[in-house]
Structure 1
Amino acid sequence: MPTLRAEPKVGIGVIVIRKDGKILIGKRKGSHAPYWSIPGGHLDLGESFEQAAIREIYEETGLIIKNPQVIAITNNLKTFKEENKHYISVCLQAQHQGDTEENREPDKCEGWIWVDPTELPQPHFEASEQSIACYLQKVCYIPQQE
């Protein structure tokens, strides 16, 4: 069993939206496998949420996004219970023309697809699923039921 951290880590997730309303998701390998998820990663020290979103999208997909906006915060307690990793995730959204993405981290992701956000493939990563639910409901946070 992994060692428990004394504090949560900060994750960044980005809902990249194409003109037709579809969003970009990938199937994870390694960390958080076998879940589907929006692109994202960790917030680096001294980095703004927007800088992290731009960096993560480029590192993972090769896409260049502009003006990402924070839309949601998730407290990932299911992941904590399953993996002993507690993350607070900041979700941003950005528009993109789409169809030019590449899998720049094949060791971490099987590949990217554009999907209707109301028809997510399963299993889906908790932070991503919560973030997309916030996006669809136009709320910044959804309390978790115990």
Structure 2
Amino acid sequence: MAVATGIGVIIVNTQGHILVGKRCGKHAPFWSIPGGYLDAGETFEQCAQREVAEETGLQIASPEFIGISNNLQTWQAEGKHTVSVCMWVQHPGGEAELKEPEKCAAWRWCAPDSLPEPHFEASRMAVALWQQGKAYLPAD
């Protein structure tokens, strides 16, 4: 089985809150930052901008690299192994829209220290990397 590459984007507003979505469908019941899978030939920045636009309608600037997470809890729980590239960007203004209601039921801003639960492993790791100023945290 191949390891998939995901991109997660922390969008930070002027209050220091981050945008998270309530996933539905195959990723229910988890909350997560916006993101998705890297397409062949795509840069990390292009993927981040595409996924954010597809999911929220927001047009973000080119995001900055934070770090990478190896999502082994998800592998153990679901048998699907992903490595996630974590990015961040300032909120461009405007409201997040439900562009893919079959994948996400709601968007909301939350304090990074008060992530809604249950929270997707890759999203939780991205926020931890960002908060701790680290590029990688080894699995427990």
Q: Report TM bin, short chain.
A: over 0.9
Distance 1:36 1:86 in 2: 19
Aligned residues: 140
Partner of 1:57 in structure 2? 52
Relative to the length of structure 2, the TM-score reads 0.97
**Is residue 111 from structure 1 mapped to residue 111 from structure 2 by the alignment?**
no
Letter in 2 for 1:103: L
Partner of 2:37 in structure 1? 42
Partner of 1:15 in structure 2? 10
Distance 1:74 1:48 in 2: 17
Deviations 1:7-58 (A, max 9, x none): 2000010000101100000011112211000000000000000000000000
Deviations 1:65-94 (A, max 9, x none): 002011010000000011110000001101
Q: How do residues 1-146 of structure 1 correspond to structure 2 at under 5 angstroms?
A: 5=1, 7-145=2-140
Deviation at residue 99 of structure 1 after TM alignment: 4.6
Deviations 1:106-136 (A, max 9, x none): 0000110000001001110000001100111
Runs of 4+ in structure 1 deviating by more than 3 angstroms, as ranges, are: none
Any gaps of 5 or more consecutive residues in structure 1?
none
Relative to the length of structure 1, the TM-score reads 0.93
RMSD across aligned positions (CA)? 0.9
Any gaps of 5 or more consecutive residues in structure 2?
none
Distance 2:72 2:108 in 1: 27
Tell me, what secondary structure is at the counterpart of 1:58? helix
Tell me, what secondary structure is at the counterpart of 1:135? helix
Distance 1:94 1:77 in 2: 26
Distance 2:3 2:110 in 1: 30
